[in-house]
Amino acid sequence: MTDIQNQFDNKRRILLDLLDSPVIDVRHIGSTALGDEGIMDILVIVPNLHAMTTLDEKRLNQSGFYRLHHPYHKKCVFSEFHDLISLKEKCRLHIVENNGNKARIYLEAQNMLAESEALAAEFRSYKEKIRHLSQKDYESAKANWFRLRIANKH
């Protein structure tokens, strides 16, 4: 088992073991799930976003995850940082609703990347081209790539 897989398994266990947590499922997504370096992305599926209460947020804080307050549509995002001075991210939780369109798109995109080395290589190449962008612009550009190359292919 790889170091990344061990890290994911530990984080998965933490998320599923949070007392009275509404977490239904935890999936490793993104580049690190494909064996690449970078921020570990984890898809966290809950019954609905309203199920994520202040208490759950506090429990996530105690586990080292802090909410990112951006205008995300139909998801909550928490990050784990290498340290709280540089705020360099180590892991990002994408919390979405079970049976929602966002969860379906994330899972389908990950399956497509895992099944097609050509698509995964295209994604890696695109990320390398946009690496110079600010974090916000980089994330926006990646989301646009997924929207154009994967989400609209159905």
Residues 1-36: pLDDT tens digits? 689 999 999 999 999 988 677 889 999 999 999 999
| pLDDT for the residue 133 | 94
DSSP 10: H
CA pair distance 136, 103, nearest whole angstrom:
22
> What is the DSSP pairing of strand 76-81 with strand 89-97?
antiparallel
CA angle 34, 41, 35 (to 5 degrees): 20
Q: Each residue of 28-80: pLDDT tens digit? A: 999 999 999 889 999 999 998 887 777 888 889 999 999 998 777 789 999 99
Q: Is the pLDDT of residue 132 over 80?
A: yes
**What fold, for 3-153?**
Beta Polymerase; domain 2 (3.30.460)
Domains of the chain, residue spans: 3-153
Strand partners, 67: 78
